[in-house]
Amino acid sequence: MITVRTTIILVCFIGLFGCATQSHSSSEATFTGKYNNGDLHPQTLYDILLAELSGNAENYQYSLDKYLKQSELTQDAGIAKRAVRIAQHLRDTKALTKAVKLWIVAAPDEPEPYQLLANILITQSKFSEALPHFNKALDLGQNKVLLMLSAQLKKMSKADINAYIDLLNDIKVKKDIESDKLVTLAILYAQLQEYPQAIEKLESALTLTPDYPTALYQMAEVLKSLGRYSDSLTTLDKLLIKHPNDRQFNALQIQLLFSLHRNQQATDKIDLLLKEKPEDSALHNYLGLTALDFNELTLSMRIFKHILKENPANSSPYFYLGIIAERADLYPDAIDNYLKVTTGKNILQAHTRAISLHKNGTDKPKVEKITAQLIHDNNSAKTTYLLMLADWLKKFNFTAQAIAVLDKQILVEPKNTDLLYARAMYLEPLDFSAAEQDFLTVLQITPNNPIILNAFGYTLTVHTDRYSEALTLIEKALALSPEDPATIDSMGWVLYKLKRYEEAITFLSKAFSLYNDPEVASHLIEALASANQIKEANRLFLKINSSHPDNKFVKKARLFLEKQ
């Protein structure tokens, strides 16, 4: 079979001595079939020459297109591999996927393309689709795929994790990657909080490779999750002897020292790292957050102020200084710090907290002034800030003014579903007919919006006897979002309204198991009592009454039980 290297050499040869087979113009060839294996077709030579010249001129997209075309026609592994490398350079996932699949067809026994395809699919959260390619990559000895799986673990469902556990437990891999497999299994088990199985796999990995850093680190993490902080620290110390400068290991050591209430040692370690790595702003930020997590507010404040001094253009540390001030009940300082956040991923959260810290209705003029300034400084986020203002106004019973704020902006953005939904929820207890119109408008714009379907369906059960209509809406919401506790609760409640008590209890029990909330509990109590399960209803009432005695839904449940 022709290899890409052979072909390129021949291209160079033809470039020097001319093509003896036929001449070509710059137009595309009309041949669209596949070449026979082993054929050295003139169009292949010509396309690869153009591709290489285009690559030299940094016209990589044209080069990629030519290599993909010839990969399909020749089924040559070298040409497909070249297409893969160009697609990787361009970060073109679609083209990379195509090129990798062509590489697999051309060279079914090479491990790298299976690993690449599995990585692509895992990154896209297509875990089931990735599974056979993951399996093949491991079978051929490609252990890099294990790293990608571990990196994407938090995106995986419980079913996905179990599928990979079953595969890894069953598959026999090459001896040199057995330890990697065992560690990956341990990480999967730990994600499911099946810690004994995780420890068993890690012990097996360490039996094979006693000083394996990843296995030791994961063992320390699992022991930490079990609250065995001393054992975790002992395990980690073995790593730090050989890797004293590793950031991840040092970070875990500090967390463990704090967890063991050895705060002075943890603080000394932080100070040492700050001195040893004065330019490492990412490390400083992490250490500041760690100190904050363990309520070492003075230390955390010192670190974040140092970061600000070194890089004044980065306003992100003000967010954490705001949290520190808030924990110290220094609300004016907290608000001031939150409002200084002008960049970074926490900007909206910071401004939301600044507004929420105004805890009295008399703060209304201040909140309105702050909102106006925020809109002036960042007009592109005007709608978000108006929603913040409306939420604050509603919280302090300025409902009419909150609705007026939304009314004004809806005139500007009549199809903004966030504004319409917020107004519907504010109108719902005051004017259900008006709220219903907003719900219907949102559903016209986004007919498969599970939040709106559920909210509208539930409010129908509260304000009307249109229970069959409500059931249809909630059923659709549940199909779109089957694990949402609020929707499961709504389903139970509408079934209760329809006097389908046993079905209602099933859904409400599930909702309460997912979301221990007084309103959900009150729904379940009413369903249980209506199904003559009075003992269970009273038992649940005593439970929520002890934890939420003044809650309005608990009081409602009490009155309902008293009437039985």
Q: What is the pLDDT of residues 427-441, one digit of tens each?
A: 999 999 999 999 999
Q: Report the CATH number at residue 487.
A: 1.25.40.10
Dist. CA 138–CA 329, nearest whole Å: 55
- 338, 322 Cβ separation under 8 angstroms: yes
Query: Measuring CA to CA, how many Å separate 3 from each of 40, 79, 178?
Result: 10, 7, 33
Last residue in a domain, options 108, 143, 163: 108
Average pLDDT on 38-52 reads 71
Give the SS3 label for residue 266.
helix
Show the CA angle centred on residue 76, arms to residues 70 and 81, nearest 5°: 85
Neighbours of 151 (CB within 10 A): 12
Q: Looking at residue 39, what is its pLDDT?
A: 53
Q: Which of 149-153, 280-284, 314-318 has the lowest mean pLDDT?
A: 149-153
DSSP structure class, residue 176: G
Tokens of 430: 């005051």
CB neighbour burial string for 96-113, b if at least 16 within 10 angstroms, e if fewer: bbbbbbbbbebbeebbbb
Q: Is the torsion defined by CA of 482, 487, 489, 492 positive or negative?
A: negative
pTM score, two decimals? 0.72
Q: Is residue 451 part of a domain?
A: no
- 167, 134 Cβ separation under 8 angstroms: yes
Q: Does 12 score more than 50 pLDDT?
A: no
Dist. CA 455–CA 463, nearest whole Å: 12
Average pLDDT on 381-410 reads 97
Residue count of the chain, please give it: 564
Q: Does 37 score more than 80 pLDDT?
A: no
DSSP structure class, residue 484: -
Q: Give, for 112, the enclosing helix (H) or strand (E).
A: helix 111-123
Q: Looking at residue 171, what is its pLDDT?
A: 84
Please state, for a pLDDT cut of 90, what percent of the chain lies above it: 63
Q: Does 121 score more than 90 pLDDT?
A: no
Q: Which of 98-107, 255-264, 386-395 has the lowest mean pLDDT?
A: 98-107
Q: Is residue 331 part of a domain?
A: no
| C-alpha closest to that of 107 among 124, 131, 83, 143 | 83
**Which tens digits make up the pLDDT trace of 537-546?**
999 999 998 8
Q: How confident is the model at residue 128 (pLDDT cuts 50, 70, 90)?
A: confident
Q: How confident is the model at residue 289 (pLDDT cuts 50, 70, 90)?
A: very high
Q: How confident is the model at residue 277 (pLDDT cuts 50, 70, 90)?
A: confident
Q: Does 94 score more than 80 pLDDT?
A: yes
- The distance from CA 301 to its chain's CA centroid, rounded to whole angstroms, is 29
Q: Is residue 232 part of a domain?
A: no
Q: Is residue 439 part of a domain?
A: no
- Give DSSP secondary structure letters for 318-363: HHHHHHHHHHTT-HHHHHHHHHT--SSTTHHHHHHHHHHT--SGGG
Last residue in a domain, options 108, 136, 157: 108
Q: Is residue 150 part of a domain?
A: no
Q: Does 294 score more than 50 pLDDT?
A: yes
Last residue in a domain, options 60, 84, 108: 108
Q: Give, for 2, the enclosing helix (H) or strand (E).
A: none
Q: How confident is the model at residue 34 (pLDDT cuts 50, 70, 90)?
A: low
Which has more pLDDT, 152 or 327? 327
- 445, 417 Cβ separation under 8 angstroms: yes
The amino acid at 470: A
Q: How many Cα atoms are found within 13 Å in the side-chain-facing hemisphere of 70?
A: 35
Tokens of 460: 């129908």
Q: How many Cα atoms are found within 13 Å in the side-chain-facing hemisphere of 499?
A: 1
Tokens of 5: 């290297």
Q: Is the torsion defined by CA of 108, 114, 117, 121 positive or negative?
A: positive
Q: Does 139 score more than 80 pLDDT?
A: no
Q: Looking at residue 292, what is its pLDDT?
A: 96
Q: Which of 4-8, 128-132, 184-188 has the lowest mean pLDDT?
A: 4-8
Dist. CA 276–CA 484, nearest whole Å: 48
Q: Is residue 92 part of a domain?
A: yes
Helices 93-106 and 77-90 cross at an angle (nearest 10°) of: 160
Show the CA angle centred on residue 443, arms to residues 442 and 446, nearest 5°: 85
| C-alpha closest to that of 468 among 479, 456, 460, 480 | 460
Q: Is residue 64 part of a domain?
A: yes
Average pLDDT on 10-36 reads 41
Task: Give the chain's domain count.
Answer: 2
Average pLDDT on 471-485 reads 96
| C-alpha closest to that of 23 among 46, 52, 50 | 46
Q: Looking at residue 68, what is its pLDDT?
A: 86
Q: Which of 27-36, 200-209, 341-350, 511-520 has the lowest mean pLDDT?
A: 27-36
| Residue indicated by tokens 């909080």 | 193
Q: Is residue 524 part of a domain?
A: yes
Burial of 519 (0-12, 13-18, 19+ CB in 10 A): buried
Burial of 81 (0-12, 13-18, 19+ CB in 10 A): buried
Dist. CA 211–CA 219, nearest whole Å: 12
Structural domain for 548, as ranges = 480-564
